[in-house]
A and B are shown apart, each in its own frame.
Chain A
Amino acid sequence: MISLRGVSKAYPRSGDALRGVSFRLRKGEFAFLTGPSGAGKSTVLELIHFQTRPTEGEVQVSRYNSRRVRRRDIPALRRRVGFVFQDFKLLERLTAAENVAFALEVIGTPRREIAGRVQRLLSQVGLAARHRSRPSELSGGERQRVAVARALATEPRILLADEPTGNLDPDAAGGVFELFRMLNRLGTAVLMATHDADFVRRHPDIRRLELEDGRLARDSAA
């Protein structure tokens, strides 16, 4: 479903962010992407989301290949790959429901379907009761749930999460993580970047891809 083959990424000023990274993530799989700050975790996720292209090697996401992808195909690719950020990136002036509706609207969902789908998405992340609250009225964990509901609006087969629990206390972090596990059991592949070593150690059953200074230092599945 996702495969990186010999991927290197160099930035003009900061040099090599990634060097010769290769791995595959199968349909419905769950993996942690770990490593110290600056190891290249975010860069890997951005490459899979086609926000940037590799300097060498190639990234393949379902039928899209970084060498051949056309610019106008990228929106379709991104609808299959949901993205969740550490800082949520919710629109502050909109309610929880409106934040989710925004995503549905901009991808061209028919107007009459939006309300129903927003309600279903918010229920799925356990936030049906808070649909009229603005982000400022929600806890960190609740905000991240809204962001996940928004990422699910396009019914993606893959969910990429960049330090989704980084801003959350342990309880809320555990809750968001359980949400990811639940979505994964329903069939969505999840790749979650985190530098919380304790958290990763507590889940030894989950595959772990460990980056070090731009290289893939360890893959627990290999």
Chain B
Amino acid sequence: MRSMREALAGFRRTPLLCVLSIGAIGLSLVILGLFGLVAHNIGGAIGDVERRVEVVGYLLDDAGSEKVRAARRELEALPAVESVRYVSKDEALERARRDLVEFSDVYGELRVNPLPASFHLRLREGFRTPETVSETAGTLAAYPFVEEARFGDEWVERLFALRSAATGIALALGGGFALIAVLLIVTTVRMAILARGEEIEIMQIVGAREGYIQRPFLLEGAVTGLAGGLLALGVTRLAYVVFPIRFAAIESLAWLPHLWTAAGVAAAALLGLLAAAYSVHREVGRAYGPS
């Protein structure tokens, strides 16, 4: 009760610093929040695309069916491989006729089927990395009856690079503002402590407990952080409502999971508390001498 009253008195004493602190924490979390929103939504999309990543091997026409069956079993046993689909020459032609309607006449008049049979490998989740993809393609190409193995290599790599770049930028920006926020809170709390220097000295002289003396300042830090966290939540929510961002594959954006928003706000409060604790430790701790 007393702590709360005094923490609020702190806001009245240095309103500008408090607003700056809250703003900085808020901004840092808005950046993370918007990234989170995008990441949460394209996470699904990326997963979808990743699932569709296939390694395809085209077979020579003279590959014996016995060898092909054996190879298929071997491929299916690979730890990275989720499924192996065999597309025969006939099926390939069938599909070509269906998919490429413009050319159906051409295919219809063919005497000889020019399309090769093929293996289509899908990778397990957790193995859909550029390295595993090209490694699996290598394994496939090593069979003598496999003429060529293909995968969307550049594309896969770009997808991953994009995602890690976006993560890096969001973390750097968010982290930068979080650092500024911490410095601002350290300063705010330091000012609050200096403004109450006389009272603190008297409390220490008459034998008030350290926790009693420090609590209002710690609370001020935590409340500042919490306010920043809630501000960020509000701004992110506003951005979510006002800007109808649409991704190719996504009809409407999903709001963040509650766990994420709760963790973000809690992290902000914790950050404020830690920043205040640092200041309190430096400014108030001395009076008890070394121990």
- Map CB proximity to A onto B200-218 as digits: 1 under 8 Å, 0 otherwise: 0111111111101100000
Partner of A154 from B199, B201, B207 at Cβ < 8 Å:
B207
- Bound complex: CA of A77 vs CA of B205, how far in Å? 10
Instruction: State whether A107 touches B207 (Cβ < 8 A).
Output: yes
Instruction: State whether A106 touches B203 (Cβ < 8 A).
Output: yes
- Bound complex: CA of A50 vs CA of B290, how far in Å? 10
How far does the Cβ of B209 sit from chain A's closest Cβ, in whole Å? 5
Interface residues in A85-118 by Cβ distance below 8 A to B read 89, 91, 102-103, 106-108
Write out the residue numbers on chain B whose beta carbons fall within 8 Å of the beta carbon of A91.
Answer: 198-199, 202
Instruction: State whether A103 touches B206 (Cβ < 8 A).
Output: yes
- Bound complex: CA of A153 vs CA of B212, how far in Å? 18
- Map CB proximity to B onto A43-58 as digits: 1 under 8 Å, 0 otherwise: 0000001111100000
Partner of B209 from A53, A75, A150 at Cβ < 8 Å:
A75
Partner of A78 from B198, B201, B205, B291 at Cβ < 8 Å:
B205
Q: Which residue of A lies closest to B209 (CB)?
A: A75
B243: interface (CB < 8 Å): no
Interface residues in B211-266 by Cβ distance below 8 A to A read 212-213
Instruction: State whether B291 touches A75 (Cβ < 8 A).
Output: no
Chain A residues bordering chain B, tally (CB within 8 A)? 27
Write out the residue numbers on chain B whose beta carbons fall within 8 Å of the beta carbon of A76.
Answer: 207
Instruction: State whether B287 touches A106 (Cβ < 8 A).
Output: no
Instruction: State whether B206 touches A51 (Cβ < 8 A).
Output: no
Partner of B291 from A69, A77, A79, A150 at Cβ < 8 Å:
A69
Write out the residue numbers on chain A whose beta carbons fall within 8 Å of the beta carbon of B108.
Answer: none
Instruction: State whether B291 touches A51 (Cβ < 8 A).
Output: no
How far does the Cβ of A72 sit from chain B's closest Cβ, in whole Å? 7
How far does the Cβ of B56 sit from chain A's closest Cβ, in whole Å? 70
Partner of B289 from A53, A89, A151, A154 at Cβ < 8 Å:
A53
Partner of B206 from A50, A53, A107 at Cβ < 8 Å:
A107
Instruction: State whether A77 touches B206 (Cβ < 8 A).
Output: no
Instruction: State whether A89 touches B198 (Cβ < 8 A).
Output: yes
- Bound complex: CA of A35 vs CA of B213, how far in Å? 35
Instruction: State whether A103 touches B202 (Cβ < 8 A).
Output: yes
- Bound complex: CA of A102 vs CA of B199, how far in Å? 9
- Bound complex: CA of A191 vs CA of B24, how far in Å? 52
Instruction: State whether A74 touches B288 (Cβ < 8 A).
Output: yes
Q: Which residue of A lies closest to B206 (CB)?
A: A103
How far does the Cβ of A188 sit from chain B's closest Cβ, in whole Å? 15
Write out the residue numbers on chain A whose beta carbons fall within 8 Å of the beta carbon of B205.
Answer: 49, 78, 83, 89
Instruction: State whether B206 touches A78 (Cβ < 8 A).
Output: yes
Instruction: State whether A71 touches B288 (Cβ < 8 A).
Output: yes
Write out the residue numbers on chain A whose beta carbons fall within 8 Å of the beta carbon of B291.
Answer: 69-71, 74
Instruction: State whether A75 touches B208 (Cβ < 8 A).
Output: yes
9 closest pairs, A vs B, by CB?
A: A78-B207, A79-B207, A71-B291, A106-B208, A75-B207, A103-B206, A106-B203, A75-B209, A53-B289
A residues sitting closer than 8 Å to B (CB atoms) are 49-53, 69-72, 74-79, 83, 89, 91, 102-103, 106-108, 150-151, 153-154
